[in-house]
Amino acid sequence: LHERGVALIGADTPQDVQPSGYEGVLMPVHAVSLVAMGLWMLDNCDLEACAATAAELGQWDFHLAVAPVRFAGTSGSPVNPIATF
């Protein structure tokens, strides 16, 4: 991810599995990508509507706007991503 300059990853599930399989590291994907790389992560995305719209339009690239709520002392926030085709 770092080599390719990825700015954000998102999935319809959490990025990490539990238990992680690494002793002493609860969430290794979060630890490496979010903490070490500063990579933005979107967990538990509902991607069905986006995929359906892309298929209908035959267009697979789009602008994605994600505006997190600014909370002090945390790295997470609920968001309402908007894809504009």
How does pLDDT run across 48-71, given as a tens digit for each residue?
999 999 999 999 999 999 988 989
Domain of 12, in residue numbers: 1-45
Q: Do 27 and 54 belong to one domain?
A: no
CB 15 within 8 A of CB 44: no
Q: In the structure encoding, which two tokens stand for residue 40, read together?
A: 């933005």
Helical segments of the chain, H only: 28-29, 48-57
pLDDT of residue 60: 95
On the question of pLDDT at 80 being above 90, the answer is no
Average pLDDT, the chain: 90
Question: Is residue 26 domain-shared with residue 59, that is, in the same domain?
Answer: no
Per-residue pLDDT band at 74 (split at 50, 70, 90): confident
Same domain, 23 and 7: yes
Together in a domain, 9 and 38: yes
Name the domain count of the chain: 2
| pLDDT tens readout for residues 2-54 | 899 998 898 888 888 889 999 999 999 988 888 889 898 998 898 899 999 99
What global pTM score does this model have? 0.72
Distance CA 27, CA 19 (A): 8
Task: Please report the pLDDT score of residue 48 as a whole number.
Answer: 92
Structure tokens at 65: 């706007």
CA nearest to 43, candidates 1, 84, 79: 79
Instruction: Give the sign of the dihedral formed by CA 33, CA 34, CA 37, CA 42.
Output: positive
27 and 53 share one domain: no
